[in-house]
Chain A
Amino acid sequence: MEKSRITTTTNSMTILTVLNRDNFKIEREQDVVPFRNRVKEHAVKIGMGLVNQTKLITAASELVRNMLRYANGGEILIEVVSKIRENGIRLTFTDKGPGIENVETAMKDGFSTGKSLGLGLPGAKRLSSEFTINSVVGKGTVVTIIKWKNG
């Protein structure tokens, strides 16, 4: 884990400081549990409460499943970010899968091209503090979520 201080801007143009970053590769189903544990470690380290931890890890679990199912895996960047006085965890899920044709439809409850319940993307959004998705058909999908320590 390298320590660095990189500043980026979010949609709301608030300055985010990255305190810590950690990369995780997902190639098979068995990687999911260690990944969830890694996210938990980071969340515990910044003092996130149990309910928010559970929400964050559940959202992460949904997004990792999507990555495995539709793109055969991918990479996740786990970052500890800070905004003014609040700390949080930012997860960036990057895959080189087929992409999502209609993101708006994919974000609807109950929509699935697979056999699942269609709760993955909308559920992950509800469980996160901030959620952005970028998908290019034929190139891949990038989903970024942030869960603030107290939000």
Chain B
Amino acid sequence: MEKIPILKMGQFLLVTIQVDLYDRLALNLESDLVQMVSTTEARGVLIDISAVSIVDSFMGRIIGNIASMSKIMDAVTVVVGMQPAVAITLIELGLPLSGVHTALNVEKGMELLKNKILVNGEVPDYDDDEQYDDLDSTQ
């Protein structure tokens, strides 16, 4: 059975989706990730979907689920690297993914995560949140 690897980097979990997902694989990723958040006490989850050419309603729902599940486990989820064609398709499909934090690439996503966790926890170091496409802030 194929599996999407989840890497632990400090207090973050890193997931790079390199294959086209079928439903079972996406569901497994969802439960694996939530499990990992619990066992590693991760504060942030970064999902890189730059290699994903299709996000349909099922996959979109999984992304939303991961974000809300992590949230109630006290971790922040950021989805990075969405292809422009995928973004266009998602909106037309009717899935705006509100409630999911996004960033253009891994680097920016990492910084967004660091910011979020610092703001929630200790001393906020810097305050340049606006440059990120933070869908949650519009709510």
* Residues of A that sit less than 8 Å from B by CB: 29-30, 32-33, 36-37, 50-51, 53-55, 57-58, 61-62, 65, 109, 116-117, 119-120, 122-123, 126-127
What interface size band does chain B fall in?
20 to 34
Number of A-B contacts defined by CB within 8 Å: 68
Given contacts A54-B86, A127-B89, whether A32 and B22 have CB atoms under 8 Å apart is: yes
Given contacts A33-B22, A54-B53, A65-B23, whether A116 and B94 have CB atoms under 8 Å apart is: no
Task: List the A side residues contacting B23 at CB < 8 Å.
Answer: 29, 32, 65
Given contacts A51-B85, A51-B88, A53-B85, whether A123 and B93 have CB atoms under 8 Å apart is: yes
Say yes or no: A58 contacts B56, CB within 8 Å.
yes
Task: List the B side residues contacting A122 at CB < 8 Å.
Answer: 94
In the assembled complex, B55 has its CB within 8 A of some CB on chain A:
yes
Which applies to chain B's interface (DSSP): helix, strand, loop or mixed?
Answer: helix
| CA of A16 to CA of B84, assembled, Å | 32
The minimal Cβ–Cβ distance linking B67 to chain A, given in whole angstroms, is: 15
The minimal Cβ–Cβ distance linking B50 to chain A, given in whole angstroms, is: 14
In the assembled complex, B58 has its CB within 8 A of some CB on chain A:
yes
Mask: chain B, 19-56; 1 = CB below 8 Å from A; 0 = not: 01011100000000000000000000000000001111
Which applies to chain A's interface (DSSP): helix, strand, loop or mixed?
Answer: helix
Task: List the B side residues contacting A120 at CB < 8 Å.
Answer: 57
Given contacts A30-B22, A117-B61, whether A62 and B56 have CB atoms under 8 Å apart is: yes
| CA of A65 to CA of B93, assembled, Å | 15
Q: Which of A50, A55, A61, A116 contacts B61 (CB 8 A)?
A: A116
